[in-house]
């Protein structure tokens, strides 16, 4: 591996969210000498319980705060001598962006700009004012494939040169933040990279998102809502494979570049729902004691979870298909997802069955 960049002191924004928390665990496991400072506003999507196992790790610090607070970010960069920002913090749920887009503009656009301003000031401007070279630094921005818009069934997948065409307030706010990151590199020389990733799944995923929603609704014997005809196509990636991809971009990615990270794993939503139903039925059949732990899971215990599937009115402007061409990450960085979908989805089902303490408190009755 040709290591060009070696992050050692990382600010992880949104580290109490789904992907951020998985990234923190991945990083501290692999690089136990590194220092990780999490900055998180603990919105409904942030959960310190996702970081419980690292709370006592002396290499880890949690800061409850907002990325829009530029002076707080500056202070953190200075106080901890941080050399890297890995920026996950965002409003991330498309449905919420349709009913309340303001928070998406605030965090995803203004918040990203606030981080860029703080990074520029501390890493570039302050040393320059003292007649010094810029500090060693890297700003990695975590974005989404949704910035590219939607695909027809036979269109080629999105590559890094696909024109941006966001369709929801969420994807538009992410697209705006991607452009700001790019502009701070071209205009000021800030050393940035961006990754655009497909749909993630795995542990610590908030139960409003499709896969954990299906698992937890089956356990509660509630309807499994499927938008429209359920034929929307998404490319699914196990969250640890995303963390691995970000690691490669951080260490070996070229400054100023975007990298697509995908799972080569396209599924219709309805087929994912049916697969999760089948796995839940099989798991309950293998372990009849599970019904004692989850007495509401009557359909799973009867091998009939799919009977809970309920078609609901489609989301307005719902993108039909996303698919990622990850050739650039593969050829430049040697990136390949490690987890197969079969193993990743089974791990995910097992994780939710074993971690009901984590998700039960997040579900409204
Ligand atoms: P999430 O909603 O689970 O977590 C977001 C985190 O950001 C939460 O902990 C929340 O408290 C925090 N946060 C929100 N506003 C904040 C603010 N103003 N200041 C500080 N913290 C704030 O999101 P996720 O699914 O983990 O996604 C992380 C990133 O990855 C996002 O940028 C998202 O756009 C991107 N992404 C997600 C997916 C996916 O499938 N989940 C796919 C591609 C890209």
User: What sections of 221-268 are H helices per DSSP?
Assistant: 239-252
Q: Is 230 exposed, middle or buried (0-12, 13-18, 19+ CB in 10 A)?
A: middle
Q: What angle (nearest 5°) sits at the alpha carbon of residue 57, between those of residues 54 and 62?
A: 65
Cα 17 to ligand 1 centroid, rounded to whole Å: 6
Outline where DSSP puts E strands in 230-354: 233-238, 258-261, 266-268, 309-312
Task: Specify the residue with its C-alpha closest to ligand 1, atom 37.
Answer: 144
The answer to whether 150 and 108 have CB atoms below 8 angstroms apart is no
Cα 230 from Cα 241, distance rounded (Å): 26
Please state the atom number of ligand 1 nearest to the C-alpha of residue 67: 19
pLDDT of 319 reads 85
Per-residue pLDDT at 137 exceeds 50:
yes
Active site residue 33: no
- Name the packing angle between helices 112-119 and 70-79 (round to 10°): 40
Please state the atom number of ligand 1 nearest to the C-alpha of residue 145: 43
The DSSP letter of residue 141 is E
Task: Specify the residue with its C-alpha closest to ligand 1, atom 4.
Answer: 17
Cα 178 from Cα 348, distance rounded (Å): 30
Residue range 282-309: mean pLDDT, rounded: 96
Q: Which of 40, 66, 91, 145 is catalytic?
A: 145
Give me 213's structure tokens: 């929603």
Closest-CA residue to 159 (of 329, 19, 343) = 329
Ligand 1 in reach of 43 Cβ (< 6 A)? yes
Active site residue 281: no
pLDDT of 1 reads 45
Per-residue pLDDT at 363 exceeds 80:
yes
pLDDT of 226 reads 95
Cα 306 from Cα 276, distance rounded (Å): 9
Residue range 159-186: mean pLDDT, rounded: 97
Active site residue 238: no
Task: Specify the residue with its C-alpha closest to ligand 1, atom 41.
Answer: 200
Per-residue pLDDT at 145 exceeds 90:
yes
Per-residue pLDDT at 364 exceeds 80:
no
Cα 289 from Cα 365, distance rounded (Å): 24
- Placement of tokens 């359909």 in the chain: 299
Residue range 252-275: mean pLDDT, rounded: 95
Give me 112's structure tokens: 């990203």
Ligand 1 in reach of 324 Cβ (< 6 A)? no
The answer to whether 142 and 84 have CB atoms below 8 angstroms apart is no
**365: pLDDT confidence band, cut at 50, 70 and 90?**
low
Q: Helix, strand, coil: what percent of the chain each, to 5?
A: 45, 15, 40
Q: Look over the chain and give the mean of its residue pLDDT values, rounded to a whole number.
A: 95
The answer to whether 197 and 144 have CB atoms below 8 angstroms apart is yes
User: What sections of 50-197 are H helices per DSSP?
Assistant: 70-79, 94-99, 102-104, 112-119, 126-129, 169-188
pLDDT in tens, 306-357: 999 999 998 888 888 989 999 999 999 999 999 999 899 999 999 999 999 9
**2: pLDDT confidence band, cut at 50, 70 and 90?**
very low
Ligand 1 in reach of 199 Cβ (< 6 A)? yes
Per-residue pLDDT at 79 exceeds 50:
yes
pLDDT in tens, 218-262: 999 999 999 999 999 999 999 999 999 999 999 999 999 999 999
pLDDT in tens, 39-66: 999 999 999 999 999 999 999 999 999 9
Ligand 1 in reach of 88 Cβ (< 6 A)? yes
Residue to mutate, 11, 15, 16, 17, ligand 1, most ligand atoms under 8 Å from C-beta: 17
Outline where DSSP puts E strands in the chain: 9-13, 35-40, 60-64, 84-87, 138-144, 192-197, 199-201, 224-227, 233-238, 258-261, 266-268, 309-312
pTM confidence score: 0.96
Alpha carbon distances (Å) from 356 to 56, 287, 359? 23, 17, 5
Q: Name, in order, each residue with C-beta under 8 angstroms of 128's C-beta and a sequence gap of 6 or more.
A: 134
CATH 3.40.640.10 fits 9-201+239-263+319-338, yes or no: no
- Placement of tokens 């974005």 in the chain: 143
């Amino acid at each position: 591996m040709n290591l060009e960049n070696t992050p050692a002191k990382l600010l992880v924004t949104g580290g109490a969210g789904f992907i951020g928390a998985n990234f923190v665990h991945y990083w501290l496991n692999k690089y136990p000498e590194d220092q990780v400072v999490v900055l998180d506003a603990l919105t409904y999507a942030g959960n310190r319980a996702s970081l419980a196992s690292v709370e006592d790790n002396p290499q880890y610090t949690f800061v409850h705060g907002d990325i829009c607070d530029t002076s707080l970010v500056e202070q953190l960069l200075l106080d901890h001598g941080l050399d890297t920002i890995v920026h996950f913090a965002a409003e991330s749920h498309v449905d919420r962006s349709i009913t309340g887009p303001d928070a998406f503009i605030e965090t995803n656009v203004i918040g990203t700009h606030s981080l860029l301003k703080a990074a520029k000031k501390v890493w570039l401007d302050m040393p320059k004012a003292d007649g010094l070279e810029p500090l060693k630094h890297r700003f990695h921005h975590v974005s989404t494939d949704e910035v590219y818009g939607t695909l027809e069934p036979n269109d080629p997948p999105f590559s890094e040169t696909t024109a941006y065409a966001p369709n929801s307030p969420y994807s538009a706010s992410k697209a705006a933040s991607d452009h700001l990151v790019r502009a701070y590199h071209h205009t000021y020389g800030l050393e940035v990279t961006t990754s655009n990733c497909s749909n993630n799944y795995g542990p610590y995923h908030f139960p409003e998102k499709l896969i954990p929603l299906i698992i937890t609704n089956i356990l509660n014997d509630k309807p499994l809502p499927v938008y429209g005809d359920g034929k929307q196509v998404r490319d699914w990636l196990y969250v640890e494979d995303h963390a691995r991809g970000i690691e490669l971009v951080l260490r070996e990615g070229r400054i100023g570049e975007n990298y697509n990270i995908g799972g080569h794993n396209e599924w219709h939503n309805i087929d994912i729902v049916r697969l999760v139903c089948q796995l839940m039925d099989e798991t309950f059949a293998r372990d009849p004691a599970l019904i004692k732990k989850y007495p509401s899971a009557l359909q799973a215990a009867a091998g009939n979870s799919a009977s809970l599937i309920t078609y609901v009115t489609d989301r307005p402007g719902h993108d039909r298909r996303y698919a990622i061409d990850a050739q650039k990450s593969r050829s430049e960085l040697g990136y390949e997802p490690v987890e197969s979908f079969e193993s990743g989805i089974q791990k995910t089902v097992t994780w939710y069955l074993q971690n009901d303490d984590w998700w039960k408190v997040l579900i409204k009755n």
